[in-house]
Amino acid sequence: MPHPNLNPALARALAARGYATLTPVQAAVAEPDADGRDLIVSARTGSGKTVAFGIAIAGQLLDGERAPWSREPLGLIIAPTRELAIQVSKELEWLYAETGARVVTCVGGMDPMKERRALQGGAHIVVGTPGRLRDHLERGALDLSTLKVAVLDEADEMLDMGFREELEEILDATPAERRTLLFSATMPRPIVALAKRYQKDALRIETLGDREAHADIAYQAVAVSPTDIEHAVVNLLRFHEPETAILFCATREAVRRLHSSLVERGFHAVALSGEHSQSERNHALQALRDQRARVCVATDVAARGIDLPSVSLVVHVELPRDAEGLQHRSGRTGRAGRKGIAVLIVPFRRRRTVETMLRNARIDAEWVAPPTAEAILERDRQRLLERLSAPGELDEGDVELAAAIQAQLPPEQIAAALVRLARTDLPAPEDILPASERSAQHDPGPRPGFDGSMWFRLNAGRRHNADPRWLLPLICRYGHVNRGDIGAIRIAAGESYFEVAARAAPGFLAALKRARIAPEDEGLVIEPAEPRDTPAAAPGERRPPPRPARHQPTDMRPQPRWPKKAPGKAGPKRPAKPR
C-alpha cells in the first residue's frame, strides 16, 4: 500500500477504491510525528481532506483492525453544510467498512427522531452540522463525555457562517484530553484564535504553496457592462460547453432569477440555495451526477461540500466577498488532478476591486473579452467535426439506415440536416457590446447616431436607488421613444441625466408635454437639462453631460409638480418647461 503507517484495514479499503498513492495531505497526516497530536491542516479544496482526517483519527477509533464496542461516540466530525456532512459520512463509511465502525449523520433538514434513535443504538463516529449537533446535545440525545477525537472540517467557513457559538458549546462538552483537528482551505485569524483555545501543541501542516494551490485552475476575468452580465454568462456556457458548470451568485433571489433565465433559454440547469428543501437539493445534485443537468446556479453556502469531479467551469456571476471566498468557490473545479477554469464576471467600475482581490489571493488571472457569437459558432463547428470524426462502432441497423439515407438524399443535404439537428438543442449566443463601443460611451467623443443629441434631467438619483434597468423603460414609456434613441445615462446623488438622439428629441419633448404621470410615479419630473458653462460644442462633437444641480432632492416621496400657493399670496406661474 502507498504508506507504511496506515492501518491495514484502511489500507485494504483504499486499495479496493483504486488508490495507488496518497495525496500530499493524506501522506502528511499519516507520518509518525502527526500521530496522536492536535493538527491544524491547511490544504486546498479537492485535495482529499476527507480521507486525510479519516486516516488521521484511526488511532483513536480502532483497536487493532476493529472498532471496539461503544454506545457513546468516539469521534466527532463537524461540517458547515448538509451536503458536505453527507459526503463526509459516505467517505468514512467505505473507508471504515472492514472495521465495523458505525457512522451516524446528524444534519438539518433530516428527521431528528430518526437521528436520535440512531444515536441511542450506538455510534463510533458522528458526522453533523453545528446547529443540529447542538440541538441533540441540549436535548441529551448526544453524549460526548467519552469522545476521543473531534474534527472541524472547513472550519473557516463555519466561523464565517456565524457558527462560533455552536462550535464553542459543542467543544466545551467534550473531554479536555480529546484530540482536536482543524481542516480548512484557508487559515484566517479567527481560526488561529479557535486553535489556541481548544488545541494543545498543535502541529501545523501545509501541503502546498501559493502557486501550487492554483496550478489546476486557469483563472480568467471578463469586464462587462452591468447590463451584459447575464449575456456574458450565456456566452461563456456556450463557448466552453462544460461537462458540468457551477455559477455562483450572492443571494437567493439572484439564484432564482438566473436559473429561470437559463432554463428559459434551453439550458439544463438546477438551482441550489437556502430556500430549497433537502429533498430538492438531493434531486438537483443527483441530476448533475447523472448528467441530466449540466449547469448548477448556487449561492456560496449551498455549494459548500459539492464534490462533482465533472465540474470543469466555475463562473463568479456575482463577485465573492473576499480572496478567501474566491478560493473556496473556485475550488469546486480543478479537483483530484483535473484541470478547470474559473471566470470572474467583473462590472467595469469594480475592476480595481477585483485586481486587489486577485493580488491578495496571489492569483494571476488573464483578462479576456467575453466570447462573441462568431467565436461560439466557430467552436460549435469544431466540436461537431470532432464528434463526427471520432471513431466508433456501428451496428448493422445503423449501416443499413445510413445506406438508405445516402440513396435518397444528396451528400450536401445530408450534411446540412446533420448540422441543423446538432444545433437544435443549443441555446443561441447573445450579442454583447464590443469593448470599443463600451468605452465610447464613456469618452467625450461622438457616439454614432448621437451627434447633436439633447440631454434631459430626471429627479431621481443614487439616493433613490436609481438604476438604468428601471430608468430606461420609464424614459421610453413617457417619451414614446425606443431604447436605441437613448444614449448615455449618468446617475448622480440626487438626480440623473440621460441623452436623447437628435432625431428623436423633438418627438420626445412633445410626448412629455402630453404625458400624464401615473399615480405610482407621482412626483416624477423630466425636463431638459441645463448645459455646462462651456464653449459651444464643435460640429460632430458630443456635448458633455450637464453638471448636477447644487440643491438635489433627498427622497422620491410624492411632491407637487410646482409649489402650492401660500396663504394670502399669489401662487407662482406654471413653468413653461415640460414636466
Digit-by-digit pLDDT tens for the chain (579 residues) are 456 778 899 999 998 888 888 888 888 888 888 888 999 888 766 678 889 999 999 999 998 889 998 889 999 999 988 888 888 999 999 999 999 999 999 998 788 999 999 999 999 999 999 999 999 999 999 999 999 999 998 887 788 778 888 999 999 999 999 999 998 776 677 878 888 889 988 898 887 554 455 567 899 999 988 878 999 999 999 999 999 999 999 888 999 999 998 998 889 999 988 788 778 888 888 899 888 999 999 988 777 667 787 899 999 999 988 887 888 888 888 776 678 999 999 988 888 889 999 988 888 899 999 999 889 988 888 888 887 777 767 777 777 888 888 888 888 887 777 777 766 567 888 877 655 444 444 444 445 567 788 999 998 888 887 888 778 888 988 888 888 888 888 888 888 999 998 888 999 999 888 888 877 777 888 999 865 433 344 444 444 455 544 444 334 333 333 333 344 444 444 445 454
Assigned domain for 30 exists: yes
Let me know whether 189 and 265 are in one domain: no
pTM recorded for the entire structure: 0.60
Spatial separation of the C-alpha atoms in residues 370 and 240, rounded to whole Å: 12
Q: What is the pLDDT of residue 561?
A: 38
Which one of 374, 403, 432 terminates a domain?
A: 374
Helices 112-120 and 130-138 meet at what angle, rounded to 10? 60
Last residue of a domain, one of 208, 224, 254: 208
3-state secondary structure (DSSP) of residue 463:
helix
Do both 468 and 345 map to the same domain?
no
Q: Are residues 286 and 323 in the same domain?
A: yes
Whether residue 292 is found in the same domain as residue 317: yes
Same domain membership, residue 191 and residue 74:
yes
Q: What pLDDT sits at residue 419?
A: 73
pLDDT at 46: 65
| CB distance 515 to 478 below 8 Å | yes
**How far from 217 is each of 118, 192, 341, 573, 577, CA to CA, in Å?**
41, 27, 5, 67, 58
Question: Residue 567's pLDDT is what?
Answer: 43
CA separation for the pair 192, 170 (Å, rounded): 18
Residue in 75, 82, 71 with CA at minimum distance from that of residue 56: 75
C-alpha distances (whole Å) from 396 to each of 400, 402, 403, 405, 564 are 6, 10, 11, 14, 89
78 and 191: one domain? yes
Closest CA to 79 of 147, 170, 140, 203: 170
Alpha-carbon span 579 to 577, nearest angstrom? 6
Residue 403 lies in a domain: no
Q: How far is 77 from 56, CA to CA, in rounded Å? A: 12
- By DSSP bridging, strand 454-458 and strand 526-528 are antiparallel
Distance between CA atoms of residues 539 and 517, nearest Å = 36
Q: Which domain holds residue 307?
A: 214-374
Residue 317 falls inside a structural domain: yes
Handedness of CA 472, 477, 483, 487 (dihedral sign): negative
Q: Are residues 65 and 120 in the same domain?
A: yes
Do 117 and 256 share a domain, yes or no?
Answer: no
Give the pLDDT confidence score for residue 78 in this predicted structure: 94
DSSP, res 36? T
Residue 463's domain is classified under what CATH number? 3.30.70.330
Q: 257 in a domain, yes or no?
A: yes
Q: How many domains, in total, are found in the chain?
A: 3
For residue 379, count CB atoms less than 10 angstroms from its CB and return exposed for 0-12, middle for 13-18, buried for 19 or more. Answer: middle
Query: 483-493 b/e with 16+ CB inside 10 Å = b?
Result: eebbbbbbbbe
Residue 435 inside a domain? The answer is no
pLDDT of residue 77: 95
Q: Is residue 419 part of a domain?
A: no
CB 46 within 8 A of CB 336: yes
Same domain, 133 and 265: no
Q: From CA 501, how far away is CA 449, in angstroms rounded?
A: 7
Q: Which of 177, 208, 239 corresponds to the end of one domain?
A: 208
Question: In terms of Cα–Cα distance, which of 421, 422, 450 is closest to 437?
Answer: 450
Using alpha carbons, select from 226, 222, 223, 224 the residue that is nearest to residue 470: 226
Q: What is the CATH number of the domain that holds 330?
A: 3.40.50.300
Cell numbers 438543442 correspond to: 425
- 505-514 and 468-479 are packed helices; what angle lies between their axes, rounded to 10 degrees? 80
- Domain presence at residue 278: yes
Question: In this structure, is residue 146 part of a structural domain?
Answer: yes
3-state SS assignment for residue 156: helix
Residues 352 and 222 grouped into a single domain:
yes
Nearest to 330 by CA among 361, 356, 351, 359: 361
Please name the amino acid found at residue 545.
Answer: P
In whole angstroms, what is the distance from residue 179 CA to residue 120 CA?
A: 24
Q: Are residues 235 and 370 in the same domain?
A: yes
Same domain as 531, residue 570: yes
And the C-alpha cell for 403?
445506406
